[in-house]
Amino acid sequence: MNIKIVSIFPDVLGTYGDQGNARVLEYLARSTGATTELVSVGINDVVPVDGDLYLLGGGEDGPQALAARRLQAGAPLQRVVERGRPILAICAGYQILGRSFVAEGKTLPGLNILPADSVPATRRMVGEVLSEPLIGIGQALMTGFENHGSMTVLDDGVEPLARIRRGSGNGRDGYDGVIVGSVIGSYMHGPILARNPGLACHLLSCAGLGEVQPSRRHRQLHHERARAQIESLWRTVRA
Amino acid sequence: MSLARRVQLARRVAQLSAAGVRCAPRFQGQTLPGRLALAIDPDFLMHRRDEGLAVRSILVTGTNGKTTTTALVKELLGPNALSNRGSNLPWGVATVLAEGTSRSRDAVFEVDEAYVPSVARSLTPAVLVWLNMSRDQLDRSLEVRRLAARIAESATDIDTLVANAGDPLIVAHASEFRRCLWVKGPEEWRNDALSCPRCTSELLYETTWRCVNCGLHEPEADYQVDAMGQLSAHGEAIALLHPGLPGSFNLLNASLAVVAVAAATGGAVEQLARHATVTRGVEGRFTTWWLTGVETTPSLTTYLAKNPAGWHANLAMLNDADAELVLGLNAKVADGRDTSWIWDVAFESLGIGPVIATGERATDLALRLEVAGFDVTVEASQRAAIRLAASRGRNRIVYLGNYTAFRSLIGDLPALGAIAALGSEVAL
């Protein structure tokens, strides 16, 4: 089995370490005996539409606007969605997939893959996130680190990824991210798949790899970060 | 209270408190007097001019290399020059100015990127050295592009900008400065500047860089240094640099220091270049120690790097070292709370071998290294990690840590019987 992982524009959507998601997926897939091909698509390159799994990361306003413009030409991600392949989009990448987002003060059109709009919040949302996933990924809790100035408003009835216990996530609704068909959006860096082995395995299963087991150290990191967040939450409650 | 009285009071209180905290931990000694002086007189930095104690100052800013470059400039300015050591916020500068004697006519201060405009407004420096801009501690600083724009607000208060021609983020914001001297170094971290900082189109890197759309381009370098340390002016070789510090990035730092001092003092670049040497490392950076408290008396070389660009540059240099590698990661406020950036460090390009991960976030680092193919051992206690490395037979240890991890290791050194190695100029 060969898995083709496509990382979209890590050269401009790579400010927050989200390329780590691709590295984690490759590592996990190989541990099952599968072969992997990681395609890092540069901002001037053509986006291949025959990948098994797609990743978008966070970036600053200017680069985010550039990435959105490039992805509008030829609509490659819409074709990926039609093929039902999983897409994981983080932060600026998540905002781009919506109907609209705001960069450098201007409202710009998104790719219209997610029924959501991202709008500036009154304050920047920065810090650790503790959440409960609303999909079965073999984890009761997820952790990550968010750092964003916009919040995302989902249309009524659209399913978020996780319920926030600590942090801001989408910013207003008490949830983080979104799940629409094979597309998952989230505000969590960390990177999210390093912190949450269950989600990494879930994505690989969606890409056709069957059962995947994370390494002991991968589970350890999830446990350590989740425990630290729970303890910190309890300290806040007591104080 | 009259203004003059207030300035004097601020200075006296700062001097007395400086005497008081001398027995306290060193770092507090560098900030508390300045905090008090600025609390009494918010314009304390500005008033030195009025007292006839004006200094001719050089400011050093940028993401990486501030402390090292400041140390190089201080070497060139001589023993009477005033200088801060790592404490780069306004109160760190105020502490130094409060303690400065009237003999001190020259000063060099490293300044945190966000505070450059306010410090420049107060000191009207002769030179601003702008080293580089890459991302660092995104959870508490502005994103790097906005930070560059903030630094550029200081343009009208500065005579000469001495800056890195290879950094598009600097060049895009340099048009307001009265006079620019451009220095080009051997190589650059460019992952943070792949889209044009002016128009967001793509940047093309050949021997120089340019934007394909708006025409922003690399300025012609007034000075250039190659990987061997050869410094040239407009293509003509003029001096060979020996900064006494490893790494090609330190050759660029040394070149910027030399050009800055020449611009501020009117000295000759050729002459100054011969003296741009730091012999014993800088605050423990690039320093080799002998561990007399460990049975095998191993050597330990300590490196500090705080962000992907810094780790990248330091690891490239350590790649061939025949030594046990210990990597330390913390995530305190001073480090940045988000450790995601370790996934942008190209560990995959290093020779794969055994490595010890340590510090408060050792597990994050360990997973990153495991994914990169390393054989990783986790030892959360840094002191124990060094002892473990010493037990592994090679007896040469290289440690690289981020800010608070590094500082806490330096604090642990007495317990390991560490003595700074003598007689070796360059560690690796």
Summarised one tens digit per residue, pLDDT across range B114-145 is 999 999 999 999 999 999 998 766 665 567 88
DSSP letter (8 states) at residue B58 = E
Domain of residue A166: give its range. Answer: 2-238
Report residue B276 as tokens: 């741009």
For the stretch B324-343, pLDDT in tens is: 999 999 999 989 999 999 99
Query: Residue B5 corresponds to which amino acid?
Result: R
The pLDDT score that the predictor gives to residue B3 is 66
Instruction: Of B36-50, B172-186, B344-358, give the range with the top mean pLDDT.
Output: B172-186
Which residues, numbered 376 to 405 in chain B, qualify as contacts with chain A under a Cβ-Cβ cut-off of 8 Å? 376
The pLDDT score that the predictor gives to residue B29 is 63
The pLDDT score that the predictor gives to residue A70 is 93
Q: Tell me how close the Cα of A85 comes to any Cα of chain B, in angstroms.
A: 24
| DSSP-derived secondary structure for A1-29 | -EEEEEEE-TTTS-TTSTHHHHHHHHHHH
Residue of chain B with shortest Cα separation from A65: B200
For the stretch B261-319, pLDDT in tens is: 999 999 999 999 999 998 766 888 888 999 999 999 999 999 999 988 889 888 888 87
For the stretch A105-162, pLDDT in tens is: 999 999 999 999 999 999 999 999 999 999 999 999 999 999 999 999 999 999 999 9
| DSSP-derived secondary structure for B356-421 | EEESTTHHHHHHHHHHTT-EEEE-SSHHHHHHHHHTTS--EEEEEE-HHHHHHHHHHGGGGTEEE-
- Taking contacts as CB-CB distances below 8 angstroms, the residues of chain B near A19 are 343-344
Cβ atoms < 10 Å from Cβ of A99: 16
Query: B173, B202, B339, B343: best mutation site toward chain A, by most A Cβ within 10 Å?
Result: B343
CA dist B153 and B173 (Å) reads 9
Please determine, for residue B10, whether its predicted confidence score (pLDDT) is greater than 60.
yes
Query: Cβ B197–A62 below 8 Å, yes or no?
Result: yes
For the stretch B62-71, pLDDT in tens is: 999 999 999 9
Q: What's the predicted TM-score (pTM) here?
A: 0.85
Mean pLDDT value across residues B370-396:
95
- Taking contacts as CB-CB distances below 8 angstroms, the residues of chain A near B338 are 16-17, 145, 147, 189-190
Of B188, B186, B151, nearest to B170 (Cα)?
Answer: B151
CATH architecture of B287-420: Alpha-Beta Complex (3.90)
Which CATH code for domain B3-273? 3.40.1190.10
Cβ atoms < 10 Å from Cβ of A229: 21
A217 is in an annotated binding site: no
Q: How many CB pairs lie under 8 A apart between chains A and B? A: 94
Residue of chain A with shortest Cα separation from B137: A16
Mean pLDDT value across residues A76-83:
97
Check which CATH number belongs to the domain holding A125 and give it.
3.40.50.880
CA dist A15 and B191 (Å) reads 9
Q: Smallest Cβ distance to B340: which of A11, A65, A190?
A: A190
For the stretch A179-205, pLDDT in tens is: 999 999 999 999 999 999 999 999 999
ipTM of predicted assembly, 2 dp: 0.95
- Taking contacts as CB-CB distances below 8 angstroms, the residues of chain B near A43 are 194-195, 202
Query: Cβ A147–B135 below 8 Å, yes or no?
Result: no
The pLDDT score that the predictor gives to residue B391 is 94
Which is more confident, A88 or B80?
A: A88
The pLDDT score that the predictor gives to residue B98 is 80
The pLDDT score that the predictor gives to residue B427 is 42
Q: Which residue is associated with the tokens 């918010």?
A: B42
The pLDDT score that the predictor gives to residue B139 is 60
Query: B63, B214, B370, B371: best mutation site toward chain A, by most A Cβ within 10 Å?
Result: B371
Residue of chain A with shortest Cα separation from B364: A221
The pLDDT score that the predictor gives to residue B428 is 39
Q: How confident is the model at residue B191 (pLDDT cuts 50, 70, 90)?
A: low
Query: Cβ A11–B138 below 8 Å, yes or no?
Result: no
Residues of A belonging to the active site: 91, 189
The pLDDT score that the predictor gives to residue B40 is 78
Instruction: Of B12-16, B93-97, B246-250, B388-392, give the range with the top mean pLDDT.
Output: B388-392
Structural domains counted in chain A: 1
For the stretch A18-55, pLDDT in tens is: 999 999 999 999 999 999 999 999 888 899 999 999 99
Q: How confident is the model at residue B190 (pLDDT cuts 50, 70, 90)?
A: low
Mean pLDDT value across residues B397-403:
96
